[in-house]
A and B are shown apart, each in its own frame.
Chain A
């Protein structure tokens, strides 16, 4: 009887479900957010907020389905809000020197820095499209569902993001 009572407690159910979501998605989601915002600490905070939102939602409605897409949508919105709030898109310098302080030595490969440098130049929606597809592994239609747009729009955003990334890589080669 006690066991039944425990398992029917919304908080316990929410905790268990969020725990499994955290175990499965925390790394992917935090990495995705870190690429979006360019800062590990901020990424951790935002990712934590996403899981806490999930927890509160499941606590209120333990039967609700929570997909990875929901987590990515919440994470994207949180990252975009953060970027808008801090006006980072306008304020951050476009050179890559800042990466040297926020990314560890073992993460400073050319590919990693080029990507981050390009992401900083991109509007958040384009960064999200590029990262959701090429980084998180979603198709354009899945990414479209997450971002609330069409797959054509996602393809176009990916193309524009790719153009900036290509220019960044070219600058790197020319240097």
Chain B
């Protein structure tokens, strides 16, 4: 009469036979167990049964034809750093809203910083400007506070560096839109990976 412990050992022996790791002595022990345990005979089967089942697994393995090629996708992901790519995608989808406010500054006796030619051209392009101030500031802007808002879409790479900026909603002024994109592109973004 077999005990459950014997059947447990028989399971391990059957596993060893299945993996072709059982020595002759172990095979003999297994046979002896089966001779007095009909339950194991029906559940585990004899050595031939085991071999037949394992041959079926081997056949399935040998018939496998699927040839995956991961290299292209890995190359893509490596450059984008996979964990970050999801975040970058979210960042790209997110709209970065920048609001630029031009407010009147208090009169100061301190010399105003000289504006560059580019800034002068930008200001000149603003429709509200009438004539450049002596120090280079647009007079109309200095007199009346004005607020502009635009929405830009920013793509940030895995390193947190912006790689592309597009105006999603214009402020109504192309120069200001471009300035906002320039500002956004000069910043660095720290993205936290998901925990």
Contact = CB atoms under 8 A, between A and B. Distances in A.
A25 to B, nearest CB: 10
Interface size bracket, A side: 35 or more
Interface in B3-33: 8, 11-16, 18-19, 21
Contact of B11 (A26, A40, A156): A156
Given A111-B59, A111-B60, A156-B12, A162 B53 contact: yes
By secondary structure, the B interface counts as helix
A111 B19 contact: no
B120 interface: no
Contacts of B78: 15, 52, 55
Given A111-B60, A140-B16, A18 B65 contact: no
A158 B64 contact: no
A109 B63 contact: yes
B105 interface: no
Interface residues of B, number: 38
Nearest to B66: A31
A30 interface: yes
A26 B19 contact: no
Contacts of A30: 66, 68, 70
A43 interface: yes
Closest 7 CB pairs of A and B: A155-B15, A159-B15, A111-B59, A30-B68, A158-B15, A111-B60, A115-B60
19 contacts: A26-B68, A30-B70, A31-B68, A47-B68, A48-B70, A48-B73, A107-B65, A109-B63, A111-B59, A111-B60, A133-B19, A134-B57, A140-B19, A155-B18, A156-B11, A158-B19, A159-B44, A162-B14, A163-B43
Interface string A122-161: 0000000010011100011000000000001011111110
Interface string A91-129: 000000000000010110101101110000000000000
A22 B69 CA distance: 9
Interface in B37-83: 43-45, 49-50, 53-54, 56-61, 63-71, 73-74, 77-78, 82-83
A104 B65 CA distance: 9
A140 to B, nearest CB: 6
Contacts of A112: 60, 63-64
B70 A169 contact: no
A34 interface: yes
